[in-house]
Amino acid sequence: MIKSRLLGLAILVLAWTGQGKAQFAHTDHKQIVDAAGKPLLIRATNLGNWLVPEGYMWLLKDGPQSPSEIRALVLELLGPEGSAAFWQKWRENYVTREDIALLHRAGFNAIRVPLHYSLFESDDAEGFKLLDRLIGWSRAENLYLILDLHAAPGGQTGANIDDSVGYPWLYQSAKEQDHLLAIWRRLATHYRDEPEVLGYDLLNEPIPNFPKLAPLNPSLEPLYKKLTGEIRKVDGHHILFLGGAQWDTNFAVFGKPFDANTAYTFHKYWTAPDESVIQQYVDFRERYDVPIWMGESGENTDEWIAQFVKTLEKNNIGWAFWPYKKMEKASAVVSVTPPADWEKIVEFGKLPRGTGHVEERLKVRPEQETITRAFDELLENVRLQKCRVNEGYLRALGMKADIAASSGGGPAK
How do residues 145-160 score in pLDDT, each as one tens digit?
A: 999 999 999 999 999 9
pLDDT for 141 equals 98
Three-state secondary structure call for residue 41? coil
pLDDT for 403 equals 85
Q: How far apart are CA 49 and CA 57, in angstroms?
A: 7
Mean pLDDT of the chain: 93
Tell me the whole-structure pTM to 2 decimals. Answer: 0.93
Helices (H) and strands (E) in the chain, counts: 13, 14
Contacts of 329 (CB under 8 A, 6+ apart): 335
- The stretch 35-39 carries a mean pLDDT of 97
Q: At 393, is the pLDDT very low, low, confident or very high (cuts 50, 70, 90)?
A: very high
pLDDT of 265 strictly over 50: yes
CA-atom Rg of the chain in angstroms: 22
Sign of CA dihedral 116, 122, 126, 127: positive
Q: At 221, is the pLDDT very low, low, confident or very high (cuts 50, 70, 90)?
A: very high
pLDDT for 408 equals 44
pLDDT of 223 strictly over 60: yes
pLDDT one-digit tens code per residue, 204-217: 999 999 999 999 99
pLDDT of 16 strictly over 80: no
Integer angstrom CA distances of residue 80 from 46, 76, 108, 175, 244: 30, 8, 39, 30, 39
Phi/psi class of residue 392: alpha, beta or left (left: φ > 0; alpha: ψ in -120 to 50)? alpha
Q: How far apart are CA 40 and CA 211, in angstroms?
A: 37
Q: At 412, is the pLDDT very low, low, confident or very high (cuts 50, 70, 90)?
A: low
> In degrees to the nearest 10, what's the CA dihedral of 202, 300, 401, 107?
-20
* CB atoms closer than 10 angstroms to residue 177: 20
Integer angstrom CA distances of residue 109 from 102, 295, 388: 12, 14, 21
Contacts of 294 (CB under 8 A, 6+ apart): 265, 266, 267, 268, 278, 312, 317, 318, 319, 320
Sign of CA dihedral 16, 19, 25, 30: positive
- Report which DSSP code applies to 121: S
Q: At 19, is the pLDDT very low, low, confident or very high (cuts 50, 70, 90)?
A: very low
Q: Which of 2-16, 150-164, 271-285 has the lowest mean pLDDT?
A: 2-16
- The stretch 45-74 carries a mean pLDDT of 97
**Beta carbons of 254 and 264 less than 8 angstroms apart:** yes
Using alpha carbons, select from 233, 144, 234 the residue that is nearest to residue 195: 144
CA angle 206, 210, 212 (to 5 degrees): 105
Beta bridge partners of 296: 267
**Phi, psi (deg, nearest 5) at residue 306:** -60, -40
